Amino acid sequence: MASSNRMLLKQLLYLALVMPMIFSSVNGNGLKVGFYQKSCPQAEAIAMNVIKETLAVAPSLSGPLLRMFFHDCFVRGCDGSVLLDSPTKQAEKDAIPNQTLRGYEIIDRVKTALELHCPGVVSCADIIALVSRDVVVQTGGASWEVETGRRDGRVSLLNDALNNLPPPTFNINSLRKLFQQKGLSMKDLVVLSGAHTIGISECSSFTNRLYNFSGKGDNSFDPTMDPYYVAALRKKCTKNGPNIFVEMDPGSSKKFDVHYYELVSKNRGLFQSDAALLDNAETKSYVEAHKSGNQGSFFKDFGVSMVHMGRIGVLTGTSGEVRRVCSKNN
């Protein structure tokens, strides 16, 4: 009997030691905070310094650099495949949804700095994740702990980007389906949409809402839009005029804050996918709760949702590689 009790005690002690390790590995998909603490302890500080210097002279890069993480993770997972070049222009970056992305040279600058300190250690996929956090911090948002340990993928296909990146015309049902496929919730959808608080967009991404909406004549516009906002946009985005850029969050496009939700609540979301947030009870409730402030809540939620997104389809362990140059495979 005593022997049996000792055996049971040993089994319980074993489970107490082993099970937390198992669950921590599963929950993070092989990622963890501080992955480079021993192999490249200055990695995060180096990346932050480059972004700080970059945005001090080129603040317009904040939006594209933040979007890059989304555009990477939603296509083949967060594996840095959006950075790969193709001699035949058939990589992800060549797809129409990615042609307005900018800042690849900044990712290269971070990579070069890291290669000098710890060659062959920090993946390009992790650099994108770290840069997204650093951009938010440098534009007035709050920081969060970024899970690292991703490896870089070797495949980048134009059609994958076309099939996985949501167009600005998506309605709430299409958005919900896509986010569910990626393992993300409706809360993640409305929170990550808040990234539209910084950056600019081409007129071509939303002019369908300004003219001949649903084939109802040149002067018709999307009835879900504030007519005064439509009038202001029409002055900049003429029907047959040049494809210029406008602020996604007018008056606050260089500052990471909750102003985006105020605009959406007033039917001034720039894209149909922004307006769609009012067509679901959960997402609408979040918009309403943050339209007049509550910035601390949004900042906390944004960090959590970015961590969730950062776990999509990651390569870890011996999968993939750590590229020496982010635009090409080793």
Cα gap 220→46, rounded to integer Å: 51
**128: DSSP letter:** H
Q: What's the Cα-to-Cα distance from 160 to each of 37, 71, 75, 229, 316, rounded to whole Å?
A: 34, 11, 6, 34, 21
**203: DSSP letter:** G
Tell me the pairing of strands 245-247 and 32-33: unpaired
Q: What's the Cα-to-Cα distance from 87 to each of 84, 91, 94, 156, 248, rounded to whole Å?
A: 10, 9, 11, 12, 33
HSE-CB at 117 with a 13 A cutoff on CA atoms is 18
Rounded to 5 degrees, φ, ψ at 61 are: -80, -10
Cα gap 322→317, rounded to integer Å: 11
Neighbours of 78 (CB within 10 A): 29
Q: Where are the alpha helices (DSSP H) in the chain?
A: 2-27, 43-57, 62-73, 104-117, 124-138, 158-164, 172-181, 186-193, 227-236, 259-265, 272-275, 281-290, 295-309
Cα gap 151→216, rounded to integer Å: 50
3-state secondary structure of 259: helix
Q: Which of 71, 196, 290, 308 is catalytic?
A: 71
Whether residue 308 lies in the annotated active site? no
> Is the CB of residue 93 less than 8 Å from the CB of residue 81?
no
For 207, the token pair is 């002019």
Query: Which positions are annotated as active-site residues?
Result: 71
